[in-house]
């Protein structure tokens, strides 16, 4: 049975924080709020990878108490701004696509399991001319569930004809760790994403410091 190597997207394959933060700043302006998030600030970059609402709460919280109604009001303008300019700053992490190519040339199935809405994830991969590198992509709204529900991962594995006993999830967050554990699948966490400084504390089956070491990490988790 071939291996199924499943990747998270934001913070794992790509650093998307710059474009996400830019979209958040458009949303703050739309709300008439004088605050901006900074792509050079580690806290802001890490928060970007936790999603639109997390960014809105972070910025609004710097002005005072956060009104969840205002977070709701800023959500769609943020997504709209992101969709308009989705890949100005986003790049794959060094060696990521080379690693994906090696996996596929070796007969492995490779897919993306992301909590980014599927439409935006596909738009981003198209903008980066990378869609053809992946055998499947399941986003936050592809199924009725999303990570950390294990079905998001197991359905991604099924979409590439794999089985959980020969699968691994590569991610960068507690959500990825919890998803893999619930699915009975080993987890490799990257250490180079904006929010990945303490991932060793999450006790994944392996850590990945550089995509050139991916095969070593796969052997470490038994694949």
Residues with a catalytic annotation lie at: 8
Pairing mode, strands 4-7 and 14-15: unpaired
Q: Which strands make up the sheet holding 4-7, listed edge to edge?
A: 136-138, 109-113, 4-7, 167-171, 187-190, 206-208
Residue 43: half-sphere exposure toward Cβ, Cα within 13 Å: 6
What's the token pair of residue 144? Answer: 């009725």
* Residues linked to residue 190 through DSSP beta bridges, in sequence order: 208
**Strand residues in 93-153 grouped as ranges (E):** 109-113, 136-138
Chain-centroid distance of CA 167 in Å reads 18
């Amino acid at each position: 049975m071939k291996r199924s190597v499943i990747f998270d997207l934001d913070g794992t394959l790509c650093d998307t924080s710059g474009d996400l933060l830019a979209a958040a700043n458009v949303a703050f302006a739309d709300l008439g709020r004088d605050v901006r998030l900074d792509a050079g600030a580690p806290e802001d970059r890490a928060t970007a990878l936790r999603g639109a609402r997390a960014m809105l709460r972070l910025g609004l919280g710097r002005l005072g108490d956060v009104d969840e109604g205002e977070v709701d009001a800023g959500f769609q303008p943020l997504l709209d701004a992101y969709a308009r300019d989705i890949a100005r700053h986003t790049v794959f992490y060094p060696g990521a696509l080379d690693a994906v190519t090696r996996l596929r040339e070796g007969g492995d199935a490779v897919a993306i399991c992301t909590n980014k809405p599927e439409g935006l994830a596909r738009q981003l991969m198209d903008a980066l001319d990378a869609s053809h590198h992946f055998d499947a992509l399941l986003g936050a709204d592809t199924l009725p569930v999303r990570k950390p529900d294990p079905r998001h991962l197991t359905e991604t594995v099924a979409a590439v004809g794999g089985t959980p006993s020969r699968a691994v999830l590569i991610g960068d967050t507690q959500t990825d760790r919890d998803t893999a554990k619930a699915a009975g699948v080993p987890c490799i966490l990257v250490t180079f994403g904006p929010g990945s400084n303490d991932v060793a504390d999450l006790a994944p089956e392996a850590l990945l410091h550089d995509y050139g070491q991916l095969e070593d990490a796969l052997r470490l988790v038994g694949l």
